[in-house]
Structure 1
Amino acid sequence: MTRRNISDAISNISNRYIEEAADFQIGKKGVRKHFIMRRAVAAAATIMLVFTMSVPALAAADYEPAYNLLYKVSPTIAQKLKPVRMSCEDNGIKFEVISAYVEGSEAKIFISAQDIDGDKIDETTDLFDSYSINTPFDCSSSCENISYDTKTKTATFLISISQWNEQDIIGEKITFRVREMLSNKQEYDMVLSDLDMNNISTAPETVTPTHIFGGSGTNYSEVENNFRALKATGILYSPVEGVDITAMGYVDGDLHIQVRYENVLKTDNHGYIYFQNNEGEKITCNANVEFSTDSEYQERYVEYIYDLSDIELAEYDAYGYFVTSDTLITGNWSVTFPLEMVSP
C-alpha cells in the first residue's frame, strides 16, 4: 500500500472512528469519550500510527478487508494479525481464513463465509458455537460477527480461542473447523400483553427433570441443587413462533415461569422474561435453569425464577426478549495452515 493510499484512507475516516482509536491510544479502551476532534498534528499522528501498523500485518489481503479491520476490531488485534488466505468449500459455502495470530495460549482467527450458490447467509448468520481448532486441551472461545456484504453474500467473523490453564497452543500446523451455521435470526423485545398474570397457581405440580443442562443468575447454585420443575400445563401463551410459555406458579414464595424453546438443537431459540413498570424500573430473574423432562433430552425448557418480595407485581407489565432462527446450515469446513505463518 502506498503513502497516497494511506493518506486517502485517513481522509475518509469518520470522527467516530478517530475518537475510538484515540481513546485506545491513551489507555481508555472500552470507555467512550465524546469530544470534538480538531485537526491537530498529534491526533493525525495517532491514526497514522494505528493504520500503518495494521497494514503490514495484512499486506497480502485486499485493501477493503484491511481497511474494515481497522475499525471493526481492536487496533492491538489488527497489529498482530498475519495473512493466511486459505479456504475450503462445502455445501455451497466458501470458508476462508483471512488472517490469524497465535501467541501462547491464545488464538485470534479472522474468517469469512461466502454463499456461492444461494441465499443461505445473511447479516444475522452465526457459527452456532460449532467452530474449533486442533488442540489437546480444553478451550474457551467466542465469535464476533464483524460485517456482512450484501453484494458478495459474505459474512466475516473474528474468532477468539483461549486454552484453559494457559496451556500453549503448540504444533507445526493449526486446523480451524466449522460444522454448523445459523441464519435468518429474528430478534424480539415485546410486551407479553396476552399473558394472564392474574391466574398464577400458588400450589403448582412439580416434576424432577431428567437432565439439567445449566443455568445462570445470582441464586443459580442454590437453586440447582434442589430444583424441581413446574409440570408443563400446555401452552399458556406463544409470544413468537418457536417460543411457548408452558407453566407459571409460585414455589417456596418465588415466581416460576417456564418457557419451551422449540427445537433448540437446530434453532438456538433463546431469550428471557422480565417485568417493567411505568417508571422504567425492571425486575429480572434471580436464576434460570435449562432442563429436559424426557429421556431423549429433546424437549428443552428454561424456567425463570423471580424473588418478588416487597414487589407489587400488578404495577408491572411482563416483557419478553427472544431470538429465534429457522435456517440451520451444516457442512464440513476445515482449513489447515502452518503455525509459523501466524505465530509471533
Structure 2
Amino acid sequence: MTRRNISDAISNISNRHIEEAADFQIGKKGVRKHFIMRRAVAAAATIMLVFTMSVPALAAADYEPAYNLLYKVSPTIAQKLKPVRMSCEDNGIKFEVISAYVEGSEAKIFISAQDIDGDKIDETTDLFDSYSINTPFDCSSSCENISYDTKTKTATFLISISQWNEQDIIGEKITFRVREMLSNKQEYDMVLSDLDMNNISTAPETVTPTHIFGGSGTNYSEVENNFRALKATGILYSPVEGVDITAMGYVDGDLHIQVRYENVLKTDNHGYIYFQNNEGEKITCNANVEFSTDSEYQERYVEYIYDLSDIELAEYDAYGYFVTSDTLITGNWSVTFPLEMVSP
C-alpha cells in the first residue's frame, strides 16, 4: 500500500482527531484478569465495538484478519468503520490505536501491538499490568488479548473504560501507555505426583511476614489479620520451572501449602493447588495469602489454606494449575487520542 493510498484512506479525519502524545502525571491502572480468552469470547467482545474505520481502508491497511472477523460477526458494524490509526514505536514494537468508540460513560478501544523486527510477541502476550490509562476523569479499566495474527506478528487488545460517576466522556482525550509486556506464557494443569502428602507436619514452624500483599478466598478476611506463614524449609517439589513448593503443614487444623513463584515481578508466574478424587470432585483452598518474608520484599510466597476437617485426604490426588512466562519485553509506548462519538 502506497503512502498516497494511506493518505487518501484517512483524508476524512479532521486535524483535531490527531494529537501529539501528551504527558500526564496521574495514571489509572487497569484491572488485571488471569484467564485464557477463547475465540468465541473474542468474537463476542468484538461485537461490542463500533470502530471508526472504513471497510476498504481496514482491509487494505494490513488489518484483513481483523476485518474478516468483524464481517463474519456483524456485517452491519463492519460497514460503519472509518480509519483512526495513531501509533508509536519503541524497541522494535509498534503500538497502534486502531479504533475507539464511546457511548455515554463507557468506551471501547481497539489496540494492536506488532513485532516489527523479531519474534517477541505471540498469542500469549499480555501487558503485565504495566499499562496505564491517563484520563482527566476517574475511571476503571480492563485489558484483554482478543487475537493474534501469526503472519503480521500482531496481537490485538480490547481496552474497556468506565467513568466512575457515569458522566459522558465523549470528546475527552486519554493517553494509553505501556512499559512492559510478557510473552511465551506456558499453562499447566497437572497431577503433583511427587508431592509427599503422607508426612505433613502437624506442628510446623511459623514466621510473621514482613508484608502481606493481599489474597483471596471465602475465609481470607478471617485469616489476614492473624496470619502466620510457614517457615520455608527448602524446595520440597518443583512441578514446573519457576514454581517451587517450599513448605507444608497443619496450622490450627487447616492444611497450609506454601509456593514460591520465581521472579514474580518479571514473570507474573502464578497458579493454585487443588485436590481431586476419582469422581472428579475438587477441593480448593478457603483462602490464599501472598506475602514477603524479607525487608526488601523480594522473597515472595503464596500460601494456600484448606479446611479438610470432613475430608479423607487419602482419597484425593493433589493437582497444580500454573502459568509461567520467560520473556519480558520492556519499552516506552505512549499514544494520546480523543474519545469521539461515531456519527450515524
Shorter-chain TM-score above 0.5: yes
Could you tell me how far apart the structure 2 residues matched to 1:92 and 1:280 are?
Answer: 47
Distance 1:202 1:156, change over 3 A: same
Query: Which structure carries more helix by proportion?
Result: 1
1:104 Cα shift? 3.6
Distance 1:48 1:170, change over 3 A: closer
State how 1:265-344 maps to structure 2 within 5 Å: 265-340=265-340
Corresponding position of 1:172: 172
CA contact (8 A) 1:54 1:70 kept: no
Corresponding position of 2:250: 250
Q: Which moved more, 1:204-213 or 1:64-73?
A: 64-73
1:101 Cα shift? 1.7
1:56 Cα shift? 10
1:45 Cα shift? 21
1:339 Cα shift? 3.1
1:169 Cα shift? 4.0
CA contact (8 A) 1:54 1:75 kept: no
Q: What does the per-residue CA deviation read over 1:204-262, in whole Å, with 9 as the maximum and x for residues that have no partner? A: 11111111111111111111111111111111001011100001011111100000001
Distance 1:177 1:280, change over 3 A: same
State how 1:230-241 maps to structure 2 within 5 Å: 230-241=230-241
Distance 1:2 1:25, change over 3 A: farther
Distance 1:82 1:126, change over 3 A: farther
Q: Which moved more, 1:248-257 or 1:42-51?
A: 42-51
1:67 Cα shift? 2.9
Q: What does the per-residue CA deviation read over 1:278-328, in whole Å, with 9 as the maximum and x for residues that have no partner? A: 111110001111111111111111000001021000010000000000111
Could you tell me how far apart the structure 1 residues matched to 2:47 and 2:286 are?
Answer: 45
TM-score (norm 1): 0.78
CA contact (8 A) 2:217 2:286 kept: yes
Q: Which moved more, 1:152-161 or 1:139-148?
A: 139-148
1:142 Cα shift? 2.1
Runs of 5+ consecutive residues of structure 2 not aligned to the other structure: none
Could you tell me how far apart the structure 1 residues matched to 2:40 and 2:5 are?
Answer: 21
1:162 Cα shift? 2.3
Could you tell me how far apart the structure 1 residues matched to 2:54 and 2:90 are?
Answer: 31
Q: Which moved more, 1:179-188 or 1:139-148?
A: 139-148
Could you tell me how far apart the structure 2 residues matched to 1:36 and 1:326 are?
Answer: 18
1:153 Cα shift? 0.9
CA contact (8 A) 2:10 2:84 kept: no
Q: Which moved more, 1:292-301 or 1:20-29?
A: 20-29
1:147 Cα shift? 1.3
Distance 1:166 1:22, change over 3 A: closer
CA contact (8 A) 2:51 2:99 kept: no
Q: Which moved more, 1:174-183 or 1:139-148?
A: 139-148
Runs of 5+ consecutive residues of structure 1 not aligned to the other structure: none
Corresponding position of 2:110: 110
CA contact (8 A) 2:53 2:99 kept: no
1:60 Cα shift? 9.3
1:171 Cα shift? 6.2
Q: Which moved more, 1:306-315 or 1:60-69?
A: 60-69
Q: What does the per-residue CA deviation read over 1:145-168, in whole Å, with 9 as the maximum and x for residues that have no partner? A: 111111111111111122334465
Distance 1:176 1:250, change over 3 A: same
1:106 Cα shift? 2.3
Q: What does the per-residue CA deviation read over 1:15-63, in whole Å, with 9 as the maximum and x for residues that have no partner? A: 9999999999999999999999999999999999999999699799666
Could you tell me how far apart the structure 1 residues matched to 2:74 and 2:22 are?
Answer: 12
Could you tell me how far apart the structure 2 residues matched to 1:169 and 1:23 are?
Answer: 19
Corresponding position of 1:124: 124
Q: What does the per-residue CA deviation read over 1:60-88, in whole Å, with 9 as the maximum and x for residues that have no partner? A: 96662553452798999979986421111
CA contact (8 A) 1:20 1:32 kept: no
Distance 1:50 1:300, change over 3 A: closer
Distance 1:246 1:138, change over 3 A: farther
Q: Which moved more, 1:12-21 or 1:242-251?
A: 12-21
Distance 1:125 1:222, change over 3 A: same
1:174 Cα shift? 1.9
Could you tell me how far apart the structure 2 residues matched to 1:12 and 1:337 are?
Answer: 16
CA contact (8 A) 1:255 1:308 kept: yes
1:139 Cα shift? 3.7
1:176 Cα shift? 1.2
Q: Which moved more, 1:36-45 or 1:219-228?
A: 36-45
Distance 1:319 1:282, change over 3 A: same
CA contact (8 A) 2:39 2:146 kept: no
Q: Which moved more, 1:79-88 or 1:178-187?
A: 79-88
Give RMSD over aligned pairs: 10.6
CA contact (8 A) 1:59 1:83 kept: no
Q: 2:18 is paired with a residue of what secondary structure?
A: helix
Distance 1:7 1:339, change over 3 A: closer
- Bigger relative contact order, structure 1 or 2 (CA pairs below 8 A, ≥6 apart): 2
1:131 Cα shift? 1.6
CA contact (8 A) 1:190 1:319 kept: yes
